[in-house]
A and B are shown apart, each in its own frame.
Chain A
Amino acid sequence: MVDDVLHLNDVVLRRGDFALRADASLVAGKVTALMGSSGSGKSTLLAAIAGFEAPVSGRITLDGRDITDLAPGDRPVSILFQDGNLFPHLTVAQNVGLGLRPDLRLSKQQVSERDQVLARVGLGGMPDRLPRDLSGGQQSRAALARALVSGRSWLLLDEAFSALGPALRREMLALVRDMAESRGMSVLMVTHDPRDARQIADFTGLIHEGHLSDPRPTSPLFADPPPELLEYLGDSRSD
């Protein structure tokens, strides 16, 4: 899966006054964090990669394939939102099963695959529960399990765990990292918290003045922050 590079070729997104230009390559098999001040268009960019927003110009290619005009469901991409990742009237097993087949007519093999992943994210004992009977962390685990079974090569996290407390969030990020590594998945996560990036991201991209260029390795970036990162970090640099 090393070839699954995500190329943003001069992608321009515009909504009213807001404009974002992304010209970047995201490395496959790694975790990339996407940072930027609020309103900088992090989530809009993720939505464009997932297929919910059409770029004004530019192409998005994944593994050499142009996905710019594909429907969201046809892209090799899973996305987790801040909330509303689960259908509240479907059980955990059903919600996860949707990642394998949207009509839920699972084969025996798919059922066992689903149950394995449920066990791996720590939900083995509760396939028949409804989301409302799960804690916030368990709901995130169920949504992650669905992304894992779907077999799509990229996982997009749109501040997916920001509703969780700090300890739970770190735990989820660690789980994401483990799972992505063991399955060779690539992760692109939007976050406003530099600690998230430093915890799990191999690369970090910064949207500055409406522009995103190639993400850089996280540790050197934070060790010797360029002016735009310093500006973004402000007081939180000491964190």
Chain B
Amino acid sequence: MTGIRIGQTAGAAVLLALFVPLLALAIRADAWAGLTARDWAAIRFTLWQAAASAALSVLLGIPVARALARRRFLGRDAVVLLLGAPFILPVIVAILGLVAVFGRSGPVSAALAWFGLEPLSIYGPQGVLLAHVFFNLPLATRLILQGWLAIPGERLRLAASLGFGPSDTFRLLEWPMLRGVVPGIFVVIFLICTTSFAVALALGGGPRSTTVELAIYQAFRFDFDLSRVAVLGAAQLALAGVAAALSLRLTVPSAFGGGLDRAIPRWDSAGLGLRIQDAAAIGLACAFLLAPLALMAAQGLPALPDMPPSIWGAALRSLVVALAAALVTTGLALALSMAAIRAGGGWVEIAGTLSVAASPLVLGVGLYILLLPLADPVALALPITAAVNTLFALPFALRAILPAMRELDRDFGRLASSLDLSGWPWLRLVALPRLRRPAGFAAGLTAALSAGDLGVITLFGAPDGATLPLVMYQLMGSYRLEEAKAAALVLVVLSIGLFWLFEHGGRRASPE
């Protein structure tokens, strides 16, 4: 069947795109020097901040998830939606918002000063943790909530008829569930935090808070020391590879799974104390997520008219990169899925998922080395960005599309093959019409992630070829914070808007 061959070719292409740049870098790094003390410090900090961020996110996520699992209230759906938002929120936007709230001139520092205390400093390890918790607390909450909602209702009814109190329910039902899901969730967040770059770039730095990714950026950008990039890249690959392998072994609920819109009726939680506790958990979590965005919007709106015109060119470039990445990623994910559901197609799925453990910066440097003899990599910064974004969004797109493709094959595979319906007609008549919803979701997710990405573009983005996140970062670097906030608003509208358009479009066009 042609569909399988196309999918296998795509899988092979993805593998080549991931490994050839690495190989180029490994060959080019003539002297494989050992790790210096500075490198070890970066590795230690990477591990420490990832572990601390994951632990904080999970610990804080548990009470919020529990509150959402057992309470029904007006606006619960909105809270669940809000918990999904940080995933597609551009990192640099969130950082700007966090600086606005927790920075030296923010309201929290002002309140502390009022009590005669020192103002906060957001730059340094604490800032890195804060930003990582901002992004991963909602993820942890959603994943833990899924575990909670997976506790069968009849068991809770049985518990109620046996007269369980809240502590009995916790000990006998909730604790075993948490013990099952929390390790997997911890490792996933750990993995995300080991590979996060933009947070460390904006809030970290210096000997105390440099991650491996940031050290790779500095080695390339400031020293053009390719050997060091290679050594650090290998270290990064080992770190993330181990975490990714661990996360595959542990069960993790799907982050995209639906069905979070219900609360399980509970009979043990009607006490006033527990109700206050739950209300506080949900209220604080919402405030933590909303305050940075609200403050940033309030400060950015008045500055909109003063925005430098360079913003609009950058926005256009980001839009083009996002659309290209969305199109290619969704197409790739569809092709890979067609091959992955067949016997012997397991390697295709793995090929499409491998990039979770890769480093965008190492890949970017590898591509730079490959392209240098052929063309000016700086002139190709945007296509390279789109390509790297495609590779890194692919695992998410695959996670959305592959299960749907599997289900489609289960429901209609025999019917189709008995009608000799395969290859392109199958894609056109069956797969595309029936997979519009997951495909729209995958495209929207990729577009949003790509529009907001501040990664490989920082390596060789020229000022006149910058994307919107890079322009924002440059504005922040020159302390033009009001303009940066205005640009952030444009970026939020761009990436959330793209997500909404694709996701909503796919949903509207999907049958039933």
Q: Contact residues of A with B, CB < 8 Å?
A: 50-52, 71-74, 77-79, 81, 84-85, 87-90, 94, 98-99, 102-104, 132, 146, 150
Contact string, B413-426, partner A, CB cutoff 8 A, digits 1/0? 01101111110111
Judging by beta carbons under 8 Å apart, are A81 and B425 in contact?
no
Known: A89-B433, A89-B434. A132 touches B417 (CB 8 A): no
> B175 interface residue, CB < 8 Å from A?
no
Inter-chain contact B425/A103, CB cutoff 8 Å: yes
CB distance from B413 to the nearest CB of A (A): 9
Q: Would B417 and A71 count as touching, CB distance under 8 A?
A: yes
Give every chain B residue within 8 A of A74 (Cβ-Cβ).
420
- Chain A residue contacts of B430, Cβ below 8 A: 87
Q: Are A50 and B512 in contact (CB under 8 A)?
A: no
Chain A residues near B154 (CB-CB < 8 A) = none
- Rounded to whole angstroms, the CA-CA distance of A206 and B419 in the bound complex is 29
Inside 8 A of A51's CB, which chain B residues have their CB?
417-418
* Mask of B393-429 contacts with A, CB within 8 angstroms, 1/0: 0000000000000000001101101111110111011
Distance between Cα atoms of A72 and B419 in the complex (Å):
8
Dominant SS among interface residues on chain B: helix
Distance from B465 Cβ to chain A, minimum over Cβ atoms (Å): 43
Distance in angstroms between the alpha carbons of A112 and B417 in the assembled complex = 25
A88 CA to B510 CA, complexed, in Å? 11
The one of A72, A87, A89, A90 in contact with B418, judged by C-beta atoms closer than 8 angstroms, is A72
Q: Inside 8 A of A73's CB, which chain B residues have their CB?
A: 417-422
Question: Given A84-B412, A88-B512, is A102 in contact with B420 using a C-beta cutoff of 8 Å?
Answer: yes
6 contacts between A and B (CB under 8 A): A72-B417, A84-B412, A85-B415, A87-B434, A89-B512, A104-B425
Other-chain contact of B419, A52, A89, A102, A132 (Cβ < 8 Å)? A102
**Min CB gap B506→A, angstroms:** 14
| C-alpha gap A78/B414 in the complex (Å) | 11
Please tell me if the beta carbons of A102 and B425 are within 8 angstroms of each other in the complex.
yes
Give Cα distance in the complex from A78 to B417, angstroms: 11
What CA separation (Å) do A237 and B274 show in the bound complex?
65
Note all chain A residues with C-beta closer than 8 A to B417: 51-52, 71-73
Q: Are B419 and A98 in contact (CB under 8 A)?
A: yes
CA of A146 to CA of B415, assembled, Å: 12
Chain B, Cβ-Cβ closest to A152: B418
Whether B305 sits at the interface, judged by CB under 8 Å, is no
A78 to B421, CA, bound (A): 13
Set of chain A residues within 8 Å of B420, measured between Cβ atoms: 71-74, 102
Closest Cβ–Cβ distance, residue B411 to chain A (whole Å): 6
Pick the 4 closest A-B CB pairs, nearest first: A73-B420, A89-B511, A103-B425, A102-B421
Determine the chain B residues whose CB is within 8 A of the CB of A71 once the complex forms. 417, 420
Closest A residue, CB atoms, query B425: A103
**Contact check: which of A78, A81, A103, A132 meets B429 at CB < 8 Å?**
A103
Identity of the chain B residue whose Cβ is nearest the Cβ of A103 in the assembled complex: B425
Besides A73-B419, A104-B425, 11 new A-B residue pairs in contact (Cβ under 8 A), listed by A number: A52-B418, A71-B417, A72-B417, A73-B418, A87-B430, A88-B511, A88-B512, A89-B434, A94-B429, A103-B428, A132-B512
Q: How far is the CA of A104 from the CA of B425 in the complex (A)?
A: 8
Shortest distance between the CB of A201 and any CB in chain B (Å): 22
**Is there an interface contact between A52 and B414, defined as CB atoms closer than 8 Å?**
yes
Neighbouring B residues of A50 by C-beta, 8 Å: 414, 418
> How far is A150 from B415 in the complex, measured between Cα atoms in Å?
13
Smallest beta-carbon distance B428→chain A, Å: 8
Contacting pair A98 B418 (CB below 8 A): no
The smallest beta-carbon distance between B329 and chain A, in angstroms, is: 24
Among residues of B, the one whose C-beta sits closest to the C-beta of A156 is B418
